[in-house]
Structure 1
Amino acid sequence: MQRFLMLVAVAVLAAIPALALRLTGAKIGPIGETAAYGVAILSAGFLLSWGAEAAERHISQGLIIAVVALVTVLPEYAVDLYYAFQAGKAGPESQYVHYAAANMTGANRLLVGLGWPLLVVIHWARGGGRTVELSRGNAVEISFLLLASLYAFVIVLKDSITLLDFAVLAAIFGAYVWRVHGAPGADEDEDEEPGPAAAMNTLPIRTQWAVMAGLTLGACVIILASAEPFAEGMVRSGRLLGLNEFLLIQWLAPLASEAPAVTVAVLFVLAGRAANGLGALVSDKINQWTLLVGMLPLALSLGAGTVAALPLDARQAEEFFLTAAQSLFALALLLRLRLGLGSALALTGLFGVQVGLAFAYRNDEARTVATLTMLAWIYLGLAAILFLVNGRHLLGLLRTALPERRTEETGSPKEFEPGGGQR
């Protein structure tokens, strides 16, 4: 418990400079402000992660699962929805439209291109083997992420994200929550959470709830106070340093907002529960690929004061296309309910290529668009091969993701193996 309290104290202290800047209105320059508010958002993300991890042990109802999932990625939501809201206020021709799309696509690609492979590499380095094996229950996450990824190509064809898309994506997320609402909060044979959240299990239930509420409330205050100046600070810092603002927002902001969730997943791996860690990041991807994407036009409409869509120009459309293609390829690697070291290296290698080429062609818009398109088709070509080879496993996953049916003779649920067989 002492270690947990020290970590909470460190996280709170890390956020104090940003809160002081916001309350006093003091200015220390774009770079200093970006750093201060970025550290605050990072610390708030850890507070949220600790509270959410503890809550998941006790709660499995659908509504609460949705709230916990939303809270866990609140740092990412705060920054991206701020850009979308400002895009609505400034108009469809403003740079804020590009910033909103950049932050969203960067967060999704970073999570899959670096987050997922990182867990496999750590698992292998600790002698756990070259493969992270998922459980049969993870077929639900994979199936719903597949559904959301396929719908993403509809958005690509429309070159815009509308409130109708929000309704569809929110429905997909709602169906996912409904499907998993009966899952237990934690495995019965797992006595404690991997990391700081374990300390709270020694407290009385009411005290645990009070601590979780305090962590969540404090983190929300920090995030709400820091999101706007952090988002604006990145724009001003990019201009001051002569860096490409789009790329800065696409890759720097997600590093701060995604770090807590990835750290929690790493703690699972270090505790010998690599499947739990990878499953957690797959769930985070579902959240971002449905609610975060869908809420962008909602925030934009609120900023505009009228119903509006988030337009995707040629560059943004190709960024979204590449993100959807990467998602489909990553899912194809999971059809056997496992992610091996070779697959992890493939994800990281292709991710590194896209980031490297984006910075290499940062001042050549036409070349950048052509490069994004080429990489997207490479992802889709590889995904198509994997889906053809593993078609039997895909059918098994989809069957497993369906609600359990009970047999007439015994009343017991029918179960399906990932390979497509019934048992």
Structure 2
Amino acid sequence: MEKKSKFGGIFHFYHLVSFFVSINAYLFSTFINSTAAQWGFSFSEIGFINLLLSFLYALSSITLGHIGYKFGYKKMMNILFIYLFALSFTGFFVNNRFWLYIFASLQGIFFGAFFPQVEGLIAQSESLLKVTPPSITGRFTLAWSSGNIFGVAFGPYLTVKARSIIFFYGIILSIVVFLLISRDKKINGELINFTPNRKLTTDSDKFDVVKDISRMKRLRLEYRIILFLGGLIYTSVLAEFPKLIKMAGLDISRAGFLTVGANIGVLLTFIALQYWKKWVGNEIICGVLLSVVLLTGVVALFAKTPLLFFLTAFLAGGSYAVPYTFAIFYGLLSTSEEHGKQGALHEMVIGLLFGVGPFVGGIFLDHFKSTFGLTFLSIILSILIYSIQFFFNKSKVVIEK
């Protein structure tokens, strides 16, 4: 017999797992970037350590991310939480460059493998419950993006004031979630036991684009590429802002409270696009929304004060969240047996942009020695984004797989 959700049939336990793991992910990543800034790493070296992390994230996603479909998503997640338990202990040993690189590499492997599991589990289970695709993707993105806010806001502060709290959080999280998933798996098996609210299961045939398989595949590829490009600005901001803020003479322990503007931008964009869906299948509206990439660069040019740093970060969040919403909507809108594969491919793209963005952004920032590096990068990316959108729509590219 199914149990009623404690959240009124809107959210369930695995959304909470995504939320708390997302906090952990961003506590770890801001620890890495804030520590690198404290130790005097150049923009390029901060970018390089993120590139290494993201390569392992992407490799982990594409090799381990789909295993949950074959052996059970919950079983795979529990194995990963044992890994997280051990990983969190390594954080206490980070006292030089070598250990910072080791920690970054190990955490990239964990998060690259974890997020495809929870994406696949939610998409597979909720599809069987007839939850609409926009509701599946929208609620998942709201869960992890709200977690990001806490991780980014407090990560730099804790890094400076009480870094051990970051690693104790990972230890406690891994133990608690391991026990709860074990209990849930024993009672409910490998699917999510959830009674969705009626509004989550209506209007599933509202979008004509969903019925056009060939077009869906084309849109899926188009927006994965655009997500990679648009997300480069966002990931550059997350990785490089602590050093930029330090250069501006501001306290690095407070960097998170400015950088978190990016995550607030992500969350608010997700909420807006979840409730306003005129963008689905409409390439003109999508193109207008993607102009946020160029707008980010324009505002970055004037970022000299805390308010403008925050606004630049906020718009950078939109540069990531807009194409992310498109990509995950078209990507996870697939047959149930592909959810693990699509989730893994999606996370591979995310992993790559979280490395390439800081690396490329670091090169531009080192060259221009100011936020003009972000402005120049945003101009190049905007040209590429609109060229790709034009190409896919003009040529009507046919995707076989």
Q: TM-score, normalised by structure 2?
A: 0.35
Q: TM-score, normalised by structure 1?
A: 0.33
* Larger-gyration structure (1/2): 1
